[in-house]
Amino acid sequence: MIYLDNGATSWPKPESVYQTMDAFLREKGGNPGRGSHSVAAAAKETIEETRMLVARFINAPEMKRVIFTLNCTDALNMGLKGLLRPGDHVISSSIGHNSLIRPLKKLERQGIKTTYLHQAVGYGCISAKEIEESITGSTKLVLVTHASNVTGIIQPIEEYGAVARKHGLIFMVDAAQTVGKYPIDVVAGNIDLLACSGHKGLFGPPGTGVLYVGDRCDLETVREGGTGSYSEQEEQPVVLPDRYESGTLNSVGISGLGAGIKYVLAEGLEKIHTHGQGLRARIIESLSQMPGIKLYGTEGREGAKAVPVVSFNVEGYDAGEVGTILDQVFDIKVRTGLHCAPAAHKVIGTYPKGTVRLSAGYFNTEEDIDQVLAAIKKIAAN
Ligand SMILES: Cc1ncc(COP(=O)(O)O)c(C=O)c1O
């Protein structure tokens, strides 16, 4: 079996992630922050260690600004709904995932205004100049996707962040596809809000995500409840991270996330990124010459910075049919369709049918890729 759906969630996980989660649940399964006994304290300690690792990983100036969430979708919802009020204007782009677009659409019904800038087909990125030219008197937020989950192209977020900061705007980044695969520095990038999954590039289990909340943001809470602190107060505490972390945390998942981040740190981001770039280049080189294959989002972008995601279609087949044949005949797992990012497909001309997406991970080898390419060649030849 070959798993090439790491853009959805990474799998397998490093061995240390399985072991850490197993040991955590057996030995430290108390409710973190909800008691002074040693099992609750041990759980809390693990959570704070992971918080420290995340902070170090994204260069967050303070650990307390790292908030654990259910996934990247939850982090985007918390950031957008906590920040935006009727009358606010948001500048975003057209490669957004539904986890970003759908909360925005709901907020639009409540009176926020949104400008979606279109990624130029030949380059794959919006420009900082376009962002600057779209700023109005009511613009509050610049909201971008770091890498498209359809084409893999990485956007120059440092340039966008500089423009946002120059105009005193909040800058929010959806880093679901890049964290753990490409460097992210919230200070150098002028990032005020960073949303990411814990279960993709950071190798945590499903059910883990992170929202970084910078000190220029005062977010309203979207959920309130027990925090294990200030229990005498009826109102939600103002201290971080408690303000945004109500209810029992996914402590076992967070322990796995910590082990995943340690693994990424030990391997090194550069090695992980280079491996991904190599697999991506191997796929593109072969598919671009294969009869009956149409690749998307790669033209004119040789050497573009990208995560290992490639979209294509096979002439005469629906994307879904190709996915089914790859799965049932060749035991190869890929994603097909719109990948929850319909606007990105409008940019590359594949809406509404979508594409077949190969998303390689750190544990995929060149041999895996060659087997997948051979299978695609067979399908295209029929
Ligand atoms: C660009 C992008 N943003 C957000 C998400 C949502 O991530 P999660 O599944 O962690 O909520 C994804 C998931 O694939 C994504 O690719």
Asked if 2-10+268-381 and 15-266 have one fold, the answer is no
What pLDDT, on the 0 to 100 scale, is given for residue 302?
65
Core vs surface per residue 263-288: b (16+ CB within 10 A) or e? bbeeeebeebbebbbebbebbbebbe
* Structural Rg of the chain based on CA atoms: 21
Core vs surface per residue 38-66: b (16+ CB within 10 A) or e? eebebbbebbbebbebbbebbebeeebbb
15-266: which CATH architecture? 3-Layer(aba) Sandwich (3.40)
2-10+268-381: which CATH architecture? Alpha-Beta Complex (3.90)
Among the residue ranges 82-86, 258-262, 300-304, the one predicted with the least confidence is: 300-304
- Domain positions in the chain are 2-10+268-381, 15-266
For atom 15 of ligand 1, the residue with the nearest CA is 176
Residue 100 has pLDDT above 80, yes or no: yes
Across all residues in the chain, what is the average pLDDT?
95
> Ligand 1: which of 197, 200, 345 to mutate, most ligand atoms within 8 Å of CB?
197
Core vs surface per residue 167-199: b (16+ CB within 10 A) or e? eebbbbbbbbbbbbbbebebeebbbbbbbbbbb
Residue type, 269: L
Distance 8 CA to ligand 1 centre (A): 7
* pLDDT band, very low/low/confident/very high, at 85 (cuts 50, 70, 90): very high
What pLDDT, on the 0 to 100 scale, is given for residue 121?
59
| pLDDT, average across residues 185-210 | 98
What pLDDT, on the 0 to 100 scale, is given for residue 175?
98
Collapse the DSSP code of 223 into the 3-class scheme (helix H, G, I; strand E, B; otherwise coil) and give the result. coil
What pLDDT, on the 0 to 100 scale, is given for residue 263?
98
Tell me the per-residue pLDDT of 9-42, one tens digit each, with 9 for 90 and over. 999 999 999 999 999 999 998 998 887 899 999 9
**In whole angstroms, what separates CA 115 from the centre of its chain?**
22
Which protein residues are within 6 Å of ligand 1, measured from CB? 8, 71-73, 97, 99, 145, 149, 174, 176-177, 197, 209
Cα 258 to Cα 56, 79, 188, 199, 226, distances in angstroms: 12, 23, 24, 11, 24
